[in-house]
A and B are shown apart, each in its own frame.
Chain A
């Protein structure tokens, strides 16, 4: 899927490798997890209620729309977490994938 966000500057930072639902992805050091994901794809999860894809809303930790998961079942708020080398994120709760 096409990336949702567009980088306008600060592209000289070191690369960080991570994965989204097992697919290899690349980000830059200092990216929040939300930005890292949305520079690779168009959304970070599906709504549990309407089924539409979601891509965060407030980016300041207030709306809780950008919750993603780790394979261990931990929930991460993508807009207030930095991406890190080797991080594995899931766009649905592990049991549901």
Chain B
């Protein structure tokens, strides 16, 4: 049995499946997770005292959610599980953890980062108003708290989550005012060859849309957002957009859930000095990995949406495969048959990912058209005008320089919600390719820490 110290960051689908592989080989990995419970975002577990069943919470994914949670429950005694713990830095074969205001180091021989993703956002005038949430937020409110984000909700953006969350809201009894998708009808049709890699998922997606249609929800494809209307005190009062024919429409609502598919959480990979590559399909910089999930730095492995953007099923497969890679590299016998099977699964997931990226494209051209007064940075209220000014007047044509000059990306979210759109604005203002703008460098701490954070006297048990 190996005594290697293996740390897994994140207890979502990738992290739990990775832990399962390592435990089966006799290791006792440390599983560090920021959440209060396991499951990550997509299979987030409701708090104690809630009674809804798996079918109500996870719909068509109920069995996968149950299987993942049961796996975690079975493993828990054989894991060093650290919930509500943030990995705030990573350097020199040591992770820096913080829990309850106490920080301490966690040395490792191998680390598997399963940091997941957030919603990818494109600013729209008024998105700072109370009542505008990310799509993920709308889903968390429902799944983990049995709440709708408003009385009357508009779903805006693109991606599979747009239809999934809208359907979940409708089924749970919330009022869905409209689903407004920026993807055009033809995008989905052209992506069918790739989407065909997973016909079962494609069928489920089409069933969600059919359900929304039967429920009488107004749905628009090829839309262009104009503004989230409302007032500073009362918040959101409606969504203004142009439909595919160019006609302007206003849908009254008190909440907007918006998102444009996913953005990988890559800060830890960056702090671990992993190489990145530009992924043209998603127009994002992703850490470079080999087919097994090995990063460019020895001892660092990456799995799930934080590296691959393949969704929950891909995360389970890539988590398990990264676990097998760790075992192989440690000289522990690993199941070659399982690895071969996972590699085949992931090839299919990758084809499907490309299909999703094409069916629901990131509407990057919107960035150039945003009115100057639009807030790009919600944290500090910085406008598109200011970001464009530092490009044209101060020559800040690179992401980090534009951040330093404008502060877009320097607020409390550290660029999570403005970074990708900000880069598109810089590219448009400097008339350069998005690759030339580069990516925001990660900074420790990866999330704000209270000034009262102290070094722990000894490692907590």
Contacts and interface: CB of A to CB of B under 8 A. Distances in A.
B145 interface: yes
Contact of B130 (A51, A54, A61, A80): A54
Contact of B134 (A57, A64, A75): A57
Given A50-B381, A55-B235, A59-B137, A8 B416 contact: no
A9 B49 CA distance: 12
A10 B141 contact: no
B133 A61 contact: no
Contacts of A21: none
A58 B134 contact: yes
A64 B412 contact: yes
Interface stretch (B58-66, B148-156, B273-281, B296-304): B148-156
Contacts of A47: 128, 381
Contacts, number: 145
Binding site of A, secondary structure by majority: helix, strand, loop or mixed? loop
A40 to B, nearest CB: 12
A71 interface: no
A82 B142 contact: no
B232 A52 contact: yes
B252 to A, nearest CB: 15
Interface in A48-90: 49-65, 67, 74-75, 80, 82
Contacts of B314: none
Contact of A57 (B133, B145, B150, B447): B133
Contact of B379 (A14, A51, A64): A64
B51 interface: yes
B140 interface: yes
Contact of A55 (B36, B130, B145, B447): B130
A13 B48 CA distance: 10
A32 B145 contact: yes
Interface string B415-445: 0110000000000000000000000000000
Nearest to B148: A6
B413 interface: yes
A8 B378 contact: no
A71 B146 CA distance: 29
Nearest to A67: B412
A8 B174 contact: yes
Given A42-B130, A53-B232, A57-B133, A9 B450 contact: no
B11 to A, nearest CB: 14
Contacts of A12: 51
A58 B417 contact: yes
Contacts of B233: 52-53
B41 interface: yes
Contacts of B355: none
Contacts of A62: 118, 413, 416-417, 447
Contacts of A10: 46, 50-52, 145-146
B197 interface: no
Contacts of B254: 4
B141 A4 contact: no
Interface string B289-333: 000000000000000000000000000000000000000000000
A57 B118 contact: no
B410 to A, nearest CB: 12
B141 A59 contact: yes
A32 B144 CA distance: 9
B149 A64 contact: no
B375 interface: yes
B150 A6 contact: yes
B133 A60 contact: no
Interface string A1-43: 0001111111111100000000000000111100100110011
Contacts of B142: 8
B149 A5 contact: yes
23 contacts: A4-B130, A5-B145, A5-B148, A6-B148, A8-B146, A10-B52, A10-B146, A12-B51, A13-B50, A39-B147, A42-B235, A52-B128, A52-B130, A52-B232, A54-B128, A57-B133, A58-B118, A58-B417, A62-B416, A63-B379, A74-B450, A80-B36, A82-B36
Given A6-B150, A57-B132, 11 more contacts: A5-B150, A6-B148, A10-B46, A30-B49, A31-B145, A57-B133, A59-B140, A62-B417, A65-B413, A75-B450, A82-B36
